[in-house]
């Protein structure tokens, strides 16, 4: 004959009441753990919600990391743009000074003459453009 644990026993062994109670309690505990494990596996909604919460937390962490990286890149780009603007301004000033040196002394000393010549060039260019547009339309 076998006992509740699958072990063979002889007919001459008589378990005591305490031994039987202990075996019953141990079997109940094992059964309770098995039932809890099966219930947890059967709770698809609960497992899905837990997994969704876990994935949501991971996504939030990744998004925070990406946002921090984007801020860093934007900050670097802004700094580089500022440096480029400063360099551009310096180059423009240098080129302007070079161009001014190449001007005849009359224009260099009297900037109003240069402005008048520039204004006349703008008027002539605008007039020529208007003439071309009207000629194409007709």
pLDDT at 138: 72
Contacts of 117 by beta carbon, 8 Å cutoff, 6+ apart:
107
Q: Could you write out the DSSP letters of every residue in 11-57?
A: TT----HHHHHHHHHHHHHHHHHHHHHHHHHH-HHHHHHHHHHHHHH
pLDDT tens track for 30-60: 999 999 888 878 888 888 888 999 999 999 9
Report whether pLDDT(22) > 70: yes
SS3 (DSSP) at 9: coil
* Higher per-residue pLDDT: 3 or 119: 119
Tokens of 76: 């670097």
Report whether pLDDT(132) > 70: yes
pLDDT tens track for 53-111: 999 999 999 999 999 999 999 999 999 988 999 999 999 999 888 887 887 777 677 77
| Model confidence, pTM | 0.38
pLDDT at 39: 82
Query: Are the beta carbons of 118 and 99 closer than 8 angstroms?
Result: no
Query: Are the beta carbons of 100 and 108 closer than 8 angstroms?
Result: yes
What is the mean pLDDT of the segment spanning 122-131?
A: 93
Q: Give the CA angle between residues 16, 20, 22 to the nearest 5°.
A: 115
pLDDT at 4: 56
Give the Cα separation of 129 and 41 in Å (integer). 81
pLDDT at 1: 41
pLDDT at 12: 52
pLDDT at 8: 52
Report whether pLDDT(25) > 50: yes
């Amino acid at each position: 004959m076998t006992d509740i644990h699958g072990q063979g026993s002889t007919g001459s062994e008589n378990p005591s009441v305490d031994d039987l109670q202990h075996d019953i309690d141990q079997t109940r505990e094992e059964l309770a753990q098995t039932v809890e494990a099966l219930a947890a596996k059967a709770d698809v909604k609960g497992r899905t919600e837990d997994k969704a919460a876990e994935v949501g937390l991971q996504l939030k962490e990744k998004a925070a990391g990406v946002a921090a990286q984007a801020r860093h890149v934007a900050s670097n780009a802004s700094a580089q743009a500022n440096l480029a603007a400063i360099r551009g301004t310096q180059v423009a000033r240098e080129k302007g000074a070079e161009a001014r040196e190449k001007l005849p002394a009359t224009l260099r000393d009297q900037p109003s003459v240069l402005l008048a010549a520039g204004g006349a060039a703008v008027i002539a260019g605008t007039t020529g453009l208007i003439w071309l547009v009207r000629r194409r339309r007709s």
